[in-house]
């Protein structure tokens, strides 16, 4: 598990990349989801922290062509899902499923230990979307 801790050089618990993905999330779906023509949708919630995640995928030739997402979540959930959306885009469905919470945390330069579970929420929504797509196929 990649963790990040605070010190005098970094008074915040988050890396600059986590802050960037939180303040400027990538592939975030603003507004009405009907305006994004998706092939798959996944929704999950985390009873521990109350976060909820929606993931929408455009899929072509077994590859994720585009990703959009929405969340009710904390900074870690937002940053982690933003990063995941960038990591998953262009990958085959199986390769996208292989992206782990550790991969996301490493990409972001670490997450505080007590927020690591937030990196799992986006992945669970991605998995739910892919499973729903495969059930339709």
pLDDT at position 7: 43
For the four alpha carbons of 51, 94, 59 and 82, in that order, the dihedral sign comes to positive
In 3-state terms the chain splits into helix, strand, coil percentages (rounded to 5) of 45, 20, 35
Q: Copy the structure tokens of residue 118.
A: 């937030």
Q: Which positions are annotated as active-site residues?
A: 49, 118
pLDDT at position 117: 73
**CATH number for domain 16-136, candidates 3.90.1010.10, 3.40.50.10490, 3.60.20.10, 3.40.50.450:** 3.90.1010.10
Reply yes or no on whether the pLDDT at 76 is more than 90. no
Nearest to 118 by CA among 74, 82, 88, 86: 74
DSSP for 76-119 reads HHHHHHHHHHHHHTTSBHHHHHT--HHHHHHHTT-B-GGGTTHH
Task: Give the residue-averaged pLDDT of 72-76.
Answer: 84
pLDDT band at 130 (very low <50, low <70, confident <90, very high): very high
Q: Which carries the bigger pLDDT value, residue 47 or residue 66? A: 66
């Amino acid at each position: 598990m990649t963790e990040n801790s605070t010190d005098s050089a970094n008074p915040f618990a988050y890396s600059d990349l986590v802050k960037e993905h939180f303040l400027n999330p990538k592939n975030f779906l603003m507004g009405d989801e009907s305006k994004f023509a998706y092939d798959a949708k996944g929704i999950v919630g985390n009873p521990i922290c109350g976060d909820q995640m929606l993931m929408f995928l455009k899929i072509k030739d077994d590859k994720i062509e585009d990703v959009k997402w929405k969340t009710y979540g904390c900074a870690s959930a937002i940053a982690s899902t933003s990063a995941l959306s960038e990591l998953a885009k262009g990958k085959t469905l199986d390769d996208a499923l292989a992206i782990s919470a550790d991969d996301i945390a490493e990409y972001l330069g670490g997450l505080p230990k007590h927020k690591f579970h937030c990196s799992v929420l986006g992945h669970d929504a991605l998995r739910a979307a892919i499973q729903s797509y495969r059930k339709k196929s």
